[in-house]
Structures are given as C-alpha cells and as structure tokens.
Amino acid sequence: MHTTMLTFFTFRMSLTWYLYVSPASSLAFHIVSVATCSAGYQYAIEEICLAKFKLDMEALDHRHWCNWDDTVESYGQLTNCTFVIALNMDCFWPNHLVNDFFIRIHKHYFQNCALSGRLLQDPPSRILGPFIVVPILITLLITALVVWRSKRSEGIM
C-alpha cells in the first residue's frame, strides 16, 4: 500500500491529512483527516473555564464540595465552557485534553467523594448495634441448640 502524508499547521489546531492509495486500483483512494487541538485550547480552558470554576468552588465550604446539589451548576458551567471554547477553536469535543482536564479537576476537588455524591460515614450506633448483636446472639443460640440436641439424642439411643 502506498501512503502519502501531508501535514498542515494552523494556530488553532493541527490538521493532518492521510492519503491512502490502493495498489489494486489507482482510482480508489481514501482521505482521512485527523484534527487535534493544540496547546492554545489547553491554555484557554485553563485560563477561562478553570479560573471561574476555582472561584465558584472557593465560595463553597470544602464540606459541600461532595454535595452534588451545591456543585452541579458550577460543574455544568465548566463543562459548557470547555465545549464552547472547543467550538470556537474548531476542535472536537470531547477530546483527550478535555478528558485530562476533567481528571485533574476530579482528583483535586472530588477525590474524597463517594459515587453517590455523599460522604461515606458509619451509621449511628442505635442502627449499627442491632446489626452486630443480633447475628452474634443467633450464632450462640444455634450453637447451644445443636449441643443440647446432640446430648439429648445420645441418651435416646
């Protein structure tokens, strides 16, 4: 297979064209374009979107970061901001830069949050106590019953 590659660079994005010419037929060919965003997109989402999100999150108490009701609006604005910038810069959305960006956001702001959006904690003792005591008592009762029944059957035979 004969492959010809042409590369064009612009300020907003890099566009790579791959021209594949089939050896069986010189008339059949495929052109594939691959568009990736440059560091300009990364800089824009960091300076515009992340700056606003940081201000919104700093206005919240750290204990409320895991409360989805308190953060959903800021998080939605952050998502929309990355999308709008991608549209204006002719970038695909989502892309690997957006994925890396949101992974960093989650590691920083939502690392200690449960999947349900609530902080994990033990239930109160009045609820947890019966779940511990009842199985222990049932185990002791069944053990006593088995021992008592085995001694009773020895005397019958």
In whole angstroms, what is the distance from residue 33 CA to residue 49 CA? 28
Domain membership flag for residue 49: yes
In whole angstroms, what is the distance from residue 86 CA to residue 77 CA? 14
- pLDDT for 155 equals 56
CATH number, domain containing residue 95: 1.10.150.510
Confidence of residue 142 (pLDDT cuts 50, 70, 90): very high
- pLDDT for 53 equals 93
Residue 105's closest CA among 39, 54, 31, 143?
Answer: 54
Domain membership flag for residue 137: no
Domain membership flag for residue 141: no
Q: How many domains, in total, are found in the chain? A: 1
> Which helix (DSSP H) or strand (DSSP E) does residue 31 occupy?
strand 29-37
Domain membership flag for residue 149: no
Orientation of helix 68-88 relative to helix 96-109, angle to 10°: 160
The pTM score is: 0.51
Print the domain residue range for 102.
Answer: 39-110
Cα within 13 Å of Cα(105), Cβ side: 24
Domain membership flag for residue 69: yes
In whole angstroms, what is the distance from residue 22 CA to residue 31 CA? 12
pLDDT digits (tens, 9 = 90+) for 45-62: 999 999 999 999 999 888
- pLDDT for 120 equals 62
Q: Does the pLDDT value for residue 138 go beyond 90? A: yes
Identify the residue with better confidence: 37 or 55: 55
- pLDDT for 136 equals 95
Kindly state the average pLDDT of the residues 125-131: 89
Domain membership flag for residue 116: no
